[in-house]
Structure 1
């Protein structure tokens, strides 16, 4: 039998393993070459490792390593082809370490290439020399052995990868709840896996058909898509991968991913098969995330517009404030100086109002604004708003009127600051958008004695609001129409704050408007009646006089301008004994050295902040009532900030910028 015939029989035998085939091939090579040792090696870097081996005495073991340079295979790899020596002792490799160490006289070997890369060698050798040199046929045969072994190793690696992937796919299918299905047109039969039945909500007794399988898909677009996908697979050999909604046997809608393709014989579709996966949670999460992403993008856009708008709005009062103060520098006319200062003060008030709007909106938006309910006189509260905005109305030639329907009493119980803020924001908005005519404020208590509801409305004869824009009115930073925003300016926060305050008061706000015919904003929220005698202290009829001429005062602030401002304000109350320090550590030392009646304490300072300084000062006195009256000065105005001040031992709280009236209120314990 020829060598090639024997080689063919070995390599095509389906009943033997790869290991058995390699052993048979090495045995055949030993017979053909008349040698003693056969090796298949794997070579990595400079290490030669025995992977398959046959020796007469089994002295060489699989896994044995040699230095590549100490083997004849080094020459084979250098030649990059089959190589042989029939009598090494008389050849150029007589000094080679392999000859010196092992005395191998004869050798024939060839490289093994796997996936285009060097893997190792197949080689045969013996300690006895051959009488004649190896023939070309021998070299061709050993090359053929190397090629077959290389191809088979590559195939084995590919099979392992496929097995690994198959195992991974099976595990993933179980984890991902993927079911398989098949429609066999030859047998007119539909097969569903167990997981497919679970997805459709049917039991093992259900017999699927092509028609009832399609009927699970939601009628309309989803059912139409799956029908079209199957038709395309049958007629045009098109695969499909679509997401659809099915209605399972229990009536539940769920998203599924359907994958399918056809199998064809002689151009005819004989089978359609594929997979179905329950992706309901993933799709719903994706839709939710997409909505969140769109909301986030809109929020970023809105915030960017807000920053630009705030930047623009800040410049107007800042321009008035800085400009008028600069104009006072070289002005000598007292009248002009007073006029300039009046404009500067008004600009500062505008600036504070703008900042307060932003802070209020931030607090409302983060649920940090809390109600401070107390009794108040509704008539007096509305009168205060009218008095506040009467100058602005006179300047524009507008009439401002208020109408209160009395039901039993004017005294109500709620948060008067927030009620006043709602009315003020609505009136301010009305004035801005009313070029001529009037502003009318209406207040009425509706409902029963036990469940009263306060209804406030502000009507104007202004430009009105188109129906299409009314839906956007209460969104932050929006004024309904971009052209309105450009023409009238403003941040668009006023109505948004009204909306949020109404929610806080468990009420609602509505708008009635017609373009060119004015607008009416109506606010309603639950209220309680209050007894003036029990719930409200008698109002002061005269402003109390405050004199600080005898008070010893300590000003603590790391900003010298803030210290100067406070000093000037305190001078208006006759303060002359004022010490100044610029951090909390200095404040504590001053209180150790001297006795003070009042300490104005900044909260945020280097070295030691105002909170720690206050605690240290309180520890000095050991009795809070015996220590100085400590008033916090801070730019932080949240309820938690105020609570932190009181917790540290401060007596009162003033937010920057300091208003004269607020300072007067904080100094009430020192009235004379």
Structure 2
């Protein structure tokens, strides 16, 4: 490996001193120098302003000119490299003035054949490297902040129209007037949900790459969580003529400490993959606990009777985008991000994921998470496939009261308002926080206060957070 060449600018008006300096530099075996020699102060200032040299040796006396002036102007013009001042004789006052002006060191020319010269050069270059690393780190941090802002903005901009599409499609599907178009509306709704899922995957992967993804752990009812997943995925399985079974042969803790949203996301992703790649047979989901390295872990396995995964591809499927090359031949959708995200999430949940698969026979994914200390938690043999105690989708909510909906986006404002109106409540609208404050105040004065306020967070004029603070100051007590 070739040594990096250090670009050095020597500003010296004495040719003998130039030759001697080059000899001394050649004796420094730790560096290879490309030396450029200048004797004109104005030319030196111009060249230093270009910032193309790693280090500068600058003579104090340049004919009738003062090297200190060259030093000051070079620093003012933005030269970032280290500058070492050279002089014919020692002078403490000059030494101090050179350092104050921005020089990193000060050398007497008769010291240039000593170890002090070598140390000064090495120190100056090491200091330059540290400064370069600092600048690069600050640049990288600034770029990451810009990426975070861009992703947050992109997320908001994409989710907003998707929310409108899904919301209005759902309203149309619920209307008795549109029974003849249920299939077409269903296609729009399913594809909209799929697009939202892909968006969430991309944003999750971006957060993981930037180490910004955080878990929100809390006590979770394991039976309810699994029943929710079963209810959701059973529809997809039945649509393909498959059997979906959830089972456990041992008593499991009723409560575990984990991030319920992420655990649900992982299970749904893997079960959904099993359904997609299985044309006949069944998908079986099992749960159990086992001790690993003196900690009791919670395990899940998802086993299918599907296509199976070739041995050479089994290590690749946990890497982002690896599925894309295979999508066309399998006639399934997806960007190949799900398993990569699951693997990262399980790692952050102090667990892991493993795969056993035989092509043409099926696959089994086994995953584990740390459920917190469950030593003293009550346990039962859970029946995941029993009817969960949850609200029926078709149940109609009936209510009354006055509601204020605040959103700067007309489509979403009207969508939320329409959903609330369908329950029997009376709805009014505001476009931003300031208008919301005025409407709440007017309603209070008229003796017809709002029972609840739905308010967006990010809005022009005044955002939801600022408006909420002002509403509380005014004495508004509603939710």
TM-score range, shorter chain: 0.5 to 0.7
Distance 1:165 1:615 in 2: 74
Q: Which residue of 1 aligns with 2:244?
A: 400
**Residues 439/162 of structure 1: CA separation in 2 closer, same or farther (3 Å cut):** farther
Task: Select 2:276's aligned residue among 432, 439, 446.
Answer: 432
Deviations 1:237-293 (A, max 9, x none): xxxxxxxxxxxxxxxxxxxxxxxxxxxxxxxxxxxxxxxxx9xx99xx9xxx9xx9x
**Residues 604/334 of structure 1: CA separation in 2 closer, same or farther (3 Å cut):** closer
**CA apart distance, 1:507:** 0.7
> Rg larger in 1 or in 2?
1
Q: What are structure 2's unaligned runs of at least 5 residues?
A: 1-11, 34-121, 141-146, 152-157, 380-387, 444-448
Task: Select 2:214's aligned residue among 359, 369, 381.
Answer: 369
Does 1:358 find its partner at 2:212? no
Does 1:567 find its partner at 2:417? yes
Q: Which residue of 2 aligns with 1:483?
A: 326
Whether contact under 8 Å (2:306, 2:363) holds in the other structure is: yes
Q: Which residue of 1 aligns with 2:452?
A: 598
Q: 3-state SS of the aligned residue for 2:247?
A: strand
Q: Which residue of 1 aligns with 2:265?
A: 421
**CA apart distance, 1:562:** 1.1
Q: 3-state SS of the aligned residue for 2:244?
A: strand
Task: Select 2:435's aligned residue among 558, 581, 586.
Answer: 586
**CA apart distance, 1:490:** 0.7
**CA apart distance, 1:173:** 5.2
Q: 3-state SS of the aligned residue for 1:476?
A: coil
Q: Which residue of 1 aligns with 2:474?
A: 620
The aligned runs of 1:275-424 (5 Å cut-off) are 334-365=178-209, 366-378=211-223, 380-407=224-251, 409-424=253-268
Does 1:451 find its partner at 2:295? yes
Distance 1:545 1:599 in 2: 21
Number of residues of Structure 1 aligned to a counterpart in Structure 2: 328
**Residues 165/442 of structure 1: CA separation in 2 closer, same or farther (3 Å cut):** farther
Distance 1:494 1:422 in 2: 8
Q: Which residue of 1 aligns with 2:79?
A: none
Q: Which residue of 2 aligns with 1:635?
A: none
Does 1:608 find its partner at 2:451? no
Distance 1:174 1:403 in 2: 73
Distance 1:605 1:574 in 2: 28
Distance 2:355 2:16 in 1: 69
Q: 3-state SS of the aligned residue for 1:459?
A: strand
Distance 1:590 1:597 in 2: 13
- Return the structure number with greater relative CO, CA threshold 8 A, min gap 6: 2
Q: 3-state SS of the aligned residue for 1:627?
A: coil
Deviations 1:390-416 (A, max 9, x none): 222222222222221213644433333
**CA apart distance, 1:464:** 1.9
Whether contact under 8 Å (1:376, 1:416) holds in the other structure is: no
Distance 1:568 1:548 in 2: 14
Whether contact under 8 Å (2:297, 2:369) holds in the other structure is: yes
Deviations 1:290-334 (A, max 9, x none): xx9xxx9xxxxxx9xxx9xxxxxx9xx98xx79x96xx89x9974
Q: Which residue of 1 aligns with 2:21?
A: 167
Please tell me the root mean square deviation across aligned C-alpha atoms, in Å.
4.2
Q: What are structure 1's unaligned runs of at least 5 residues?
A: 1-157, 180-277, 297-302, 308-313, 534-538, 630-672
Distance 1:435 1:615 in 2: 55
**Residues 546/417 of structure 1: CA separation in 2 closer, same or farther (3 Å cut):** same
Larger deviation: 514-523 or 485-494? Answer: 485-494
Deviations 1:80-117 (A, max 9, x none): xxxxxxxxxxxxxxxxxxxxxxxxxxxxxxxxxxxxxx
Deviations 1:129-179 (A, max 9, x none): xxxxxxxxxxxxxxxxxxxxxxxxxxxxx9944641541562575495579
Distance 2:229 2:433 in 1: 41
Deviations 1:489-511 (A, max 9, x none): 31111101210111111011111
Q: Which residue of 2 aligns with 1:223?
A: none
Q: 3-state SS of the aligned residue for 1:604?
A: coil
Q: 3-state SS of the aligned residue for 1:405?
A: coil
Q: Which residue of 2 aligns with 1:500?
A: 344
Distance 1:586 1:419 in 2: 40
Deviations 1:345-366 (A, max 9, x none): 3333333333333333333343
Distance 1:497 1:377 in 2: 22
Task: Select 2:355's aligned residue among 495, 500, 511.
Answer: 511
Distance 2:458 2:438 in 1: 18
**CA apart distance, 1:425:** 0.9
Distance 1:603 1:394 in 2: 40
Whether contact under 8 Å (1:584, 1:605) holds in the other structure is: yes
Distance 2:31 2:363 in 1: 58
Whether contact under 8 Å (1:405, 1:445) holds in the other structure is: no
**CA apart distance, 1:614:** 1.8
Q: Which residue of 2 aligns with 1:555?
A: 405
Q: 3-state SS of the aligned residue for 2:439?
A: helix
Distance 1:336 1:465 in 2: 41
**Residues 409/579 of structure 1: CA separation in 2 closer, same or farther (3 Å cut):** closer
Distance 1:369 1:506 in 2: 13
**Residues 415/603 of structure 1: CA separation in 2 closer, same or farther (3 Å cut):** closer
